[in-house]
Protein backbone atom coordinates (compact mmCIF):
# COMPACT_ATOMS: atom_id res chain seq x y z
CA UNK A 1 0.00 0.00 0.00
CA UNK A 2 1.25 3.46 -0.84
CA UNK A 3 -0.24 6.79 0.18
CA UNK A 4 -0.81 9.89 -1.87
CA UNK A 5 1.60 12.73 -1.34
CA UNK A 6 0.69 15.11 1.48
CA UNK A 7 0.52 18.85 0.78
CA UNK A 8 3.99 19.29 2.28
CA UNK A 9 5.49 16.45 0.26
CA UNK A 10 3.80 17.77 -2.87
CA UNK A 11 5.33 21.22 -2.49
CA UNK A 12 8.83 19.97 -1.85
CA UNK A 13 9.01 16.95 -4.16
CA UNK A 14 7.26 18.33 -7.22
CA UNK A 15 9.41 21.46 -7.06
CA UNK A 16 12.44 19.32 -7.89
CA UNK A 17 10.97 18.17 -11.21
CA UNK A 18 11.33 19.88 -14.59
CA UNK A 19 8.49 20.78 -16.94
CA UNK A 20 5.79 18.60 -15.41
CA UNK A 21 2.27 20.06 -15.37
CA UNK A 22 -0.85 19.16 -13.45
CA UNK A 23 -3.53 17.29 -15.38
CA UNK A 24 -7.04 18.79 -15.36
CA UNK A 25 -9.48 16.73 -13.35
CA UNK A 26 -6.92 14.19 -12.14
CA UNK A 27 -4.26 13.97 -9.47
CA UNK A 28 -1.54 13.33 -12.04
CA UNK A 29 1.37 15.07 -13.72
CA UNK A 30 2.21 15.27 -17.41
CA UNK A 31 5.21 16.33 -19.46
CA UNK A 32 5.61 16.64 -23.25
CA UNK A 33 8.84 15.82 -25.04
CA UNK A 34 10.00 16.45 -28.56
CA UNK A 35 12.91 14.64 -30.20
CA UNK A 36 14.83 14.87 -33.45
CA UNK A 37 12.98 11.89 -34.93
CA UNK A 38 11.18 8.62 -34.17
CA UNK A 39 14.40 6.75 -33.51
CA UNK A 40 15.30 9.14 -30.69
CA UNK A 41 11.75 9.23 -29.34
CA UNK A 42 11.38 5.45 -29.19
CA UNK A 43 14.90 5.04 -27.80
CA UNK A 44 13.91 7.37 -24.97
CA UNK A 45 10.67 5.43 -24.43
CA UNK A 46 12.63 2.20 -24.23
CA UNK A 47 14.84 3.59 -21.48
CA UNK A 48 11.75 4.73 -19.58
CA UNK A 49 10.09 1.32 -20.14
CA UNK A 50 13.03 -0.55 -18.64
CA UNK A 51 13.07 1.75 -15.61
CA UNK A 52 9.30 1.48 -15.24
CA UNK A 53 9.45 -2.31 -15.28
CA UNK A 54 12.26 -2.27 -12.71
CA UNK A 55 10.10 -0.07 -10.46
CA UNK A 56 6.92 -1.97 -11.32
CA UNK A 57 5.41 1.47 -11.88
CA UNK A 58 4.30 2.23 -15.42
CA UNK A 59 3.51 5.43 -17.30
CA UNK A 60 0.51 6.33 -19.40
CA UNK A 61 1.99 7.63 -22.59
CA UNK A 62 1.28 8.70 -26.12
CA UNK A 63 3.71 8.86 -29.03
CA UNK A 64 3.52 10.03 -32.58
CA UNK A 65 6.73 10.30 -34.60
CA UNK A 66 9.06 12.56 -32.57
CA UNK A 67 6.60 13.52 -29.83
CA UNK A 68 6.06 11.76 -26.51
CA UNK A 69 3.52 12.74 -23.85
CA UNK A 70 3.88 11.05 -20.48
CA UNK A 71 1.30 11.07 -17.68
CA UNK A 72 2.17 9.76 -14.25
CA UNK A 73 -0.17 8.81 -11.42
CA UNK A 74 -0.42 5.86 -9.06
CA UNK A 75 -3.49 3.80 -9.81
CA UNK A 76 -3.67 2.00 -6.49
CA UNK A 77 -3.45 5.29 -4.57
CA UNK A 78 -5.71 7.13 -7.01
CA UNK A 79 -3.22 9.98 -7.22
CA UNK A 80 0.38 11.12 -7.00
CA UNK A 81 2.82 9.23 -4.82
CA UNK A 82 6.57 9.08 -4.31
CA UNK A 83 6.70 6.47 -7.09
CA UNK A 84 5.58 9.08 -9.60
CA UNK A 85 8.17 11.53 -8.34
CA UNK A 86 10.88 8.87 -8.58
CA UNK A 87 9.93 7.90 -12.14
CA UNK A 88 9.56 11.56 -13.18
CA UNK A 89 13.03 12.31 -11.77
CA UNK A 90 14.52 9.46 -13.78
CA UNK A 91 12.74 10.67 -16.91
CA UNK A 92 14.04 14.19 -16.32
CA UNK A 93 17.56 12.80 -15.99
CA UNK A 94 17.47 11.22 -19.47
CA UNK A 95 15.29 13.83 -21.21
CA UNK A 96 16.82 15.83 -24.03
CA UNK A 97 17.73 19.43 -23.29
CA UNK A 98 17.04 22.06 -25.92
CA UNK A 99 14.40 20.18 -27.90
CA UNK A 100 12.24 19.28 -24.90
CA UNK A 101 8.95 21.16 -24.86
CA UNK B 1 3.57 11.60 -52.89
CA UNK B 2 1.00 9.04 -51.95
CA UNK B 3 -2.74 9.14 -52.55
CA UNK B 4 -5.59 8.27 -50.25
CA UNK B 5 -7.31 4.96 -50.84
CA UNK B 6 -10.11 5.07 -53.36
CA UNK B 7 -13.51 3.68 -52.41
CA UNK B 8 -12.75 0.44 -54.22
CA UNK B 9 -9.34 0.05 -52.57
CA UNK B 10 -10.88 0.85 -49.21
CA UNK B 11 -13.50 -1.88 -49.50
CA UNK B 12 -11.05 -4.55 -50.60
CA UNK B 13 -7.97 -3.69 -48.53
CA UNK B 14 -9.59 -2.84 -45.20
CA UNK B 15 -11.63 -6.04 -45.38
CA UNK B 16 -8.41 -8.02 -45.03
CA UNK B 17 -7.57 -6.45 -41.66
CA UNK B 18 -8.64 -7.70 -38.23
CA UNK B 19 -10.32 -5.63 -35.53
CA UNK B 20 -9.56 -2.19 -36.91
CA UNK B 21 -12.25 0.45 -36.47
CA UNK B 22 -12.85 3.81 -38.10
CA UNK B 23 -11.98 6.86 -36.02
CA UNK B 24 -14.72 9.47 -35.57
CA UNK B 25 -14.00 12.67 -37.46
CA UNK B 26 -10.81 11.43 -39.11
CA UNK B 27 -9.84 9.27 -42.06
CA UNK B 28 -7.95 6.87 -39.82
CA UNK B 29 -8.21 3.37 -38.34
CA UNK B 30 -7.68 2.26 -34.77
CA UNK B 31 -7.25 -1.04 -32.98
CA UNK B 32 -7.00 -1.81 -29.26
CA UNK B 33 -4.79 -4.55 -27.89
CA UNK B 34 -4.54 -6.14 -24.47
CA UNK B 35 -1.57 -8.17 -23.28
CA UNK B 36 -0.68 -10.25 -20.24
CA UNK B 37 1.47 -7.47 -18.79
CA UNK B 38 3.67 -4.47 -19.58
CA UNK B 39 6.58 -6.63 -20.70
CA UNK B 40 4.46 -8.19 -23.43
CA UNK B 41 2.85 -4.89 -24.39
CA UNK B 42 6.13 -3.05 -24.77
CA UNK B 43 7.73 -5.98 -26.54
CA UNK B 44 4.92 -5.83 -29.09
CA UNK B 45 5.37 -2.05 -29.40
CA UNK B 46 9.07 -2.54 -30.03
CA UNK B 47 8.37 -4.92 -32.90
CA UNK B 48 5.92 -2.42 -34.38
CA UNK B 49 8.44 0.41 -33.89
CA UNK B 50 11.14 -1.43 -35.82
CA UNK B 51 8.74 -2.17 -38.66
CA UNK B 52 7.47 1.42 -38.65
CA UNK B 53 10.99 2.80 -38.89
CA UNK B 54 11.79 0.39 -41.73
CA UNK B 55 8.70 1.63 -43.57
CA UNK B 56 9.27 5.26 -42.52
CA UNK B 57 5.60 5.22 -41.56
CA UNK B 58 4.85 5.68 -37.89
CA UNK B 59 1.83 5.00 -35.70
CA UNK B 60 0.04 7.25 -33.24
CA UNK B 61 -0.22 5.14 -30.13
CA UNK B 62 -1.10 5.12 -26.48
CA UNK B 63 0.01 2.63 -23.86
CA UNK B 64 -0.75 2.08 -20.23
CA UNK B 65 0.47 -1.11 -18.55
CA UNK B 66 -0.91 -4.01 -20.65
CA UNK B 67 -3.04 -1.94 -23.04
CA UNK B 68 -2.00 -0.50 -26.40
CA UNK B 69 -4.17 1.63 -28.70
CA UNK B 70 -2.84 2.20 -32.20
CA UNK B 71 -4.17 4.76 -34.70
CA UNK B 72 -3.00 4.72 -38.29
CA UNK B 73 -3.33 7.44 -40.91
CA UNK B 74 -0.97 9.01 -43.44
CA UNK B 75 -0.22 12.60 -42.50
CA UNK B 76 1.00 13.72 -45.90
CA UNK B 77 -2.12 12.33 -47.60
CA UNK B 78 -4.43 13.50 -44.80
CA UNK B 79 -6.04 10.07 -44.69
CA UNK B 80 -5.70 6.34 -45.19
CA UNK B 81 -3.24 5.01 -47.75
CA UNK B 82 -1.72 1.67 -48.66
CA UNK B 83 1.03 2.40 -46.10
CA UNK B 84 -1.54 2.21 -43.32
CA UNK B 85 -2.90 -1.04 -44.68
CA UNK B 86 0.61 -2.48 -44.90
CA UNK B 87 1.51 -1.48 -41.34
CA UNK B 88 -1.87 -2.68 -40.02
CA UNK B 89 -1.35 -6.04 -41.73
CA UNK B 90 2.05 -6.41 -40.10
CA UNK B 91 0.57 -5.49 -36.70
CA UNK B 92 -2.19 -8.05 -37.20
CA UNK B 93 0.41 -10.68 -37.99
CA UNK B 94 2.18 -10.22 -34.64
CA UNK B 95 -0.87 -9.39 -32.51
CA UNK B 96 -1.80 -11.80 -29.74
CA UNK B 97 -4.82 -13.99 -30.36
CA UNK B 98 -7.19 -14.65 -27.47
CA UNK B 99 -6.33 -11.59 -25.36
CA UNK B 100 -6.64 -9.05 -28.20
CA UNK B 101 -9.63 -6.79 -27.77
Element (H, E) at A72: strand A67-72
pTM of the complete model: 0.94
pLDDT one-digit tens code per residue, A56-90: 999 999 999 999 999 999 999 999 999 999 999 99
The CATH fold assigned to A29-101 is: Gyrase A; domain 2 (3.30.1360)
How does DSSP assign A46-58, residue by residue? HHHHHHHHHHT--
CB-closest option in A58, A59, A63 to B61 = A63
CB-closest option in A53, A62, A64 to B38 = A53
Question: Which region among A4-13, A90-99, B83-92 has the lowest average model confidence (pLDDT)?
Answer: A90-99
Note whether ipTM > 0.85 here. yes
Rounded to a whole number of angstroms, the distance from the CA of B89 to the nearest CA of chain A is 19
**How much is the mean pLDDT over chain A?**
94
Report chain B residues whose CB lies below 8 A from the CB of A43: none
pLDDT band at B97 (very low <50, low <70, confident <90, very high): confident
CB-closest option in B38, B59, B60 to A58 = B38
Q: Which of B64, B70, B76 to mutate to test the interface with A (most CBs of A within 10 A)?
A: B64
Confidence (pLDDT) at B91: 98
Confidence (pLDDT) at B18: 95
Domain B27-94 CATH class label: alpha beta
Asked whether the predicted pLDDT for residue B101 surpasses 70, the reply is no
Cβ pair A53:B61 closer than 8 A: no
Confidence (pLDDT) at A11: 87
pLDDT one-digit tens code per residue, B57-69: 999 999 999 999 9
Q: Which of A23, A48, A60 to mutate to test the interface with B (most CBs of B within 10 A)?
A: A60
Within its chain, how far is the Cα of B69 from the centroid?
9
- Indicate the domain borders of chain A: 29-101
Residue of B nearest to A47 (CA): B42
Starting at the edge strand found earlier in the chain, the sheet holding B60-64 runs A21-22, A29-34, A67-72, A60-64, B60-64, B67-72, B26-34, B21-23
Amino acid sequence: MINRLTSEERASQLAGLHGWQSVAGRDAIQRHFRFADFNEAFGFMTRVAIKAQEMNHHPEWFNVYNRVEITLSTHEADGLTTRDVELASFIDSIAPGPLAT
